[in-house]
Structure 1
Amino acid sequence: MTSPRRRRSPWRSREHALTPTARVLRLRRRISLLFALTSAVGLVAMALLAVRSDSSRWREQLDHSMDADTSWALGLLETDEDGRLDTGVLAETVNTDCPPLTVLLVDADDPDGVSVQHAPAKACLDVSRAVVLEAGRASVHADDTRAFDRRTRDGRPVRVFAQPFYAPEAADDAGPQGVLVALADASGPRADHDRLVWAVTGGCAVLVLLSAAVGHVLSGRAVRPALAALGQQEAFLADAAHDLRTPAASLRTLAETALRGETDSADVHRRTLRLAEGMGELVDGLLTRARLMSGTATVARQPLRLDQLVEAVVDEAPVAGHRVRVDVEDTVVVADPDLVRRAVGNLLGNALAHGHAPGVPADVLITVSRDGTLTVEDAGPGLPPEIAGALFERFRSGSGSTGLGLSIASWVAHAHDGTLTAGRGERGGARFVLRLPTQD
């Protein structure tokens, strides 16, 4: 019996389908989101703390004001000869209509029950009697002051404050004799609090968006080296795949021809050797270019006789059948000998390969001036118009070459804070001018 085939998770398939660049970009988005969420959590926590603090503050201010009013009003309450509470002095002395002040008495038969002893005649804050009785009962039950948020009959917010009072000669464990209930208009403080809430909310939203933008910028800078490294890696792999495909195919064809016995073995060996040497130079050029692009190639700057280096490169170059003239002056530049040697060799090789018509020897003139300028000029057909604008990019030299020589020469020039330019020479061919910094 065969086991059921396991289904692959679509998320895992999508994970494997992403390119390295896409994964880095997704990481950037996640970092930006995490930065924004972290900022949002901190800002929301601070906003809640500020809102709650302001909410407690304005309530405490109203409660403190009403506590002072009720405490002063308690001194105006009197009792008659029979021990009954007399609110006449309070009503005559204090305007109990605004802010409204109500005196409640505790029912002797029902300790939690209260009744109205004095109520404002025309209260400026119209609340239902049930609200006042509720506050009185709560204060009696707790045997302490109590405060509540309620609304008037027309919907205005009010603060209700209830303070119990005791009979003059009551025992210490005796309950309250009554309760004073005061009302305060909370419209102003409540409106100020609401404005603060909206301001804090809007500020948090703006700061979260700003932090998200900052996080996106910072994460972009953080992943920029990774994206650059991936781009260089992809460029190197593209160079290697593009340039090694042709010689590898030639080697395979040569090997198949040799196996069939269709050619002389000595000729096969010679052609194989040439292909191997060409592939070795190609790999060396690819590695040099990759090191220059990644910045890992160390530029060992030192005083260098450019004229002597050029003469040595010409002596070592395979110029058989071609004409190469050298016109140099004593010139000292500050550069890396190995890198400059490769750049000069690439410029000379390019002139020998492309600076002449088919079947005609190349005529190359190399000059070195004291200002650190090296000029390589040929008498060939000149630069093709279609590649003149992108001559120093890879795969741009044409005529079946790799396109790495001029690219490496350009990188060497820029690595030394110099320049490499191309144009039309006086003899109609191509002229390349390499400028390097001289010794002061």
Structure 2
Amino acid sequence: MRVSGRTRDGGHIPAAGRTSALTPTARVVRLRRRISLLFALTSAVGLIAMGALAVRSDSARWREQLDHSMDADTSWALGLLETDEDGRLDTGVLAETVTTDCPPLTVLLVNADDPDDVTVQHAPAKACLDVSPAVVLAAGRAAARADDTLAFDRRTRDGRPVRVFTQPFYAPEATDDEGPQGVLVTVADAAGPRSDHQRLVWIVTGGCAVLVLLSAAVGHVLSGWAVRPALAALGRQEAFLADAAHDLRTPAASLRTLAETALRGETDSAEVHRRTLRLAEGMGRLVDGLLTRARLMSGTATVARQPLRLDQLAEAVVDDAPVADHRVRVEAEETVVVADPDLVRRAVGNLLGNALAHGHAPGVPADVLVTVTRDGTLTVEDAGPGLPPEVAGALFARFRSGSGSTGLGLSIASWVAHAHGGTLTVEPREQGGLGGARFVLRLPTSG
């Protein structure tokens, strides 16, 4: 049993078992399915309409061909009909001149007072197509009533399809108001044309089915290409929200704990203010890193490439960094690269900040060496504990960092390098053993 109702504050309680709202990704996937289905249905309607038109045209074509042939036979046979002195129809010349057995030619006389009253004046002795006399008489009556040429699809007594053609004729002295004197009926074999027509129907049907399936597959692929940017944007959005939730949770909890401690009066107010300021600065850097990464990954932060003195930029980053008691040395050659100054400054700053934060033992000042060479390579070396091999391969992924870090700095630096067509790698400072980490940023030079 499903239960639904309202809460005390007027909110609606959803019924038990009701389907939850779809996620944005699920809605985009559903939209892709609908686009594919609409594409397939549109193609199916168009192909079916064209196929039906082709089948109908072919059906009319083979009937017209048979009718034209039989019309020529009946027109020639009408010239052989004569009338005696009493006005009676004489079919002797017709019988003597042509063989009316194949194609079967039947001459019917029509009662002037009653078009439905028709009698056989001449019939083939042994017709090659065994059509029931009732079929011939019915066709003659229809032509007499309509006073016009008619054609019908009928079958022989053994079920073979035939085409029955009727041609009214008139007495020599007949006026325009008088009906036909008789009707000439002929029959043609329709098995061959009908078989060809059925073959065409199967070909068109099979072709339409194959094309509909092909269009459905193409529509599915095209819709996938169409929704791919939306899915990528949703993925970036979900990644950004995950980053924010992951990294803001700890400083927010620290601020809450600090505020509760201050309210209880257990800590000196000056110390509370200092710790609050440090947390606020850390959260500011965190939010700035999150926004920078989101802009970079979404493409809203464009790469404005221009000639840039990498050595001067490295020296400026070191001068602006909060070095404190740490030791940072710069060995730079005059180097010009083609890059975005703001993004490269951000990447170099992140590499230097990572070295100052993790490139030393606890309680020992960091010793960092920044090197710039003419081939567009910037190296940041520290004297920390080094990197285990299993960590180095995933160091530039989100959240892969040491304690106290957001895990975004190296990820942003790696993205900046690849956005400029360069690379960012990490390796031990001393080959063959530990002794610090060596981050190598390579950027394209102006040469």
TM over 0.5: yes
Cα 1:9–1:37 shift into 2, 3 Å: farther
Distance of 1:105 and 1:390 partners within structure 2? 101
Contact conserved, 2:115 with 2:141, CA < 8 A, in 1? no
Residue 9 of structure 2 is matched in structure 1 by: none
Q: Is the partner of 2:387 in helix, strand or coil?
A: coil
What amino acid is the match of 2:172? Answer: P
Do the aligned partners of 2:112 and 2:179 also contact (CA within 8 Å) in 1?
Answer: no
Q: Which amino acid aligns with 2:56?
A: R
* Secondary structure, aligned partner of 1:90: helix
SS at match of 1:17: coil
Match of 1:125 among 123, 129, 132: 129
- Corresponding residue to 1:433 among 419, 427, 440: 440
CA distance in 2, matches of 1:79, 1:151: 33
Residue 312 of structure 1 is aligned with which of 313, 316, 320?
316
Task: Say whether 1:337 aligns with 2:337.
Answer: no
Aligned mates of 1:346, 1:111 — CA distance in 2: 105
How far off is 1:5 after superposition?
A: 5.3
The equivalences for 1:83-98 within 5 A come to: 83-98=87-102
Aligned-residue Cα RMSD (Å) equals: 1.9
| Aligned residues of 2:5 and 2:14 also touching (Cα < 8 A) | no
The equivalent position to 1:36 in structure 2, one of 32, 40, 51, is 40
Which residue identity is paired with 2:439? F
Q: How far apart are the structure 2 equivalents of 1:288 and 1:69? A: 89
Partner of 2:421: 417
For structure 1, the residue ranges without an aligned partner over 5 or more in a row are none
The Cα shift of 1:351 comes to 1.1
Kindly state the Cα deviation for residue 361 of structure 1 after the two structures are TM-superposed. 2.5
What corresponds to 1:221 in structure 2? Answer: 225
Q: State how far apart, in whole Å, the 2-side matches of 1:307 and 1:371 are.
A: 11
The 2-side partners of 1:96 and 1:388 are apart by 100
Of the structure 1 ranges 378-387 and 229-238, higher mean CA displacement relative to structure 2 is found in 378-387
Contact 2:5-2:13 within 8 A present in 1 as well: no
Distance in 1 (CA, whole Å) between partners of 2:266 and 2:74 is: 121
Query: Mean alpha-carbon deviation: is it higher for 97-106 or for 323-332?
Result: 323-332
| Unaligned ranges ≥5, structure 2 | 7-11
1:7-33 deviation digits (Å, cap 9, x = unpaired): 9999x964x611101111111111111
Matched, 1:322 2:311: no
CA distance in 2, matches of 1:205, 1:389: 51
Aligned residue runs from structure 1 range 6-405, under 5 A: 14=19, 17-108=21-112, 110-405=114-409
Deviations 1:285-340 (Å, cap 9, x if unpaired)? 01110111011112222222111111121122222232222211111112222111
Q: Which stretch shifts more, 391-400 or 250-259?
A: 391-400
Aligned length, in residue pairs: 435
Give the ranges of 4+ consecutive aligned residues of structure 1 lying more than 4 Å apart after TM superposition: 4-10
Does the residue aligned with 2:167 lie in a helix, a strand or coil? strand
Q: Report the residue type matching 2:281 in the other structure.
A: E
Q: d(CA) in 2 for partners of 1:376 and 1:122?
A: 109
Question: Residue 358 of structure 1: CA displacement?
Answer: 2.3
Preserved CA contact (<8 Å) 2:112 2:180: no
Shift of 1:107: 3.0
Residues 1:387 and 1:400: Cα distance change in structure 2 (over 3 Å): farther
Report the Cα offset of residue 38 of structure 1: 1.1
SS in 2 for 1:437: coil
In 2, the alpha carbon distance for the partners of 1:61 and 1:228 equals: 61
Is the 2:386–2:437 Cα contact (8 Å) retained in structure 1? yes
Quote the offset at 1:398 in angstroms.
3.2
Q: 1:80, CA displacement in angstroms? A: 2.2
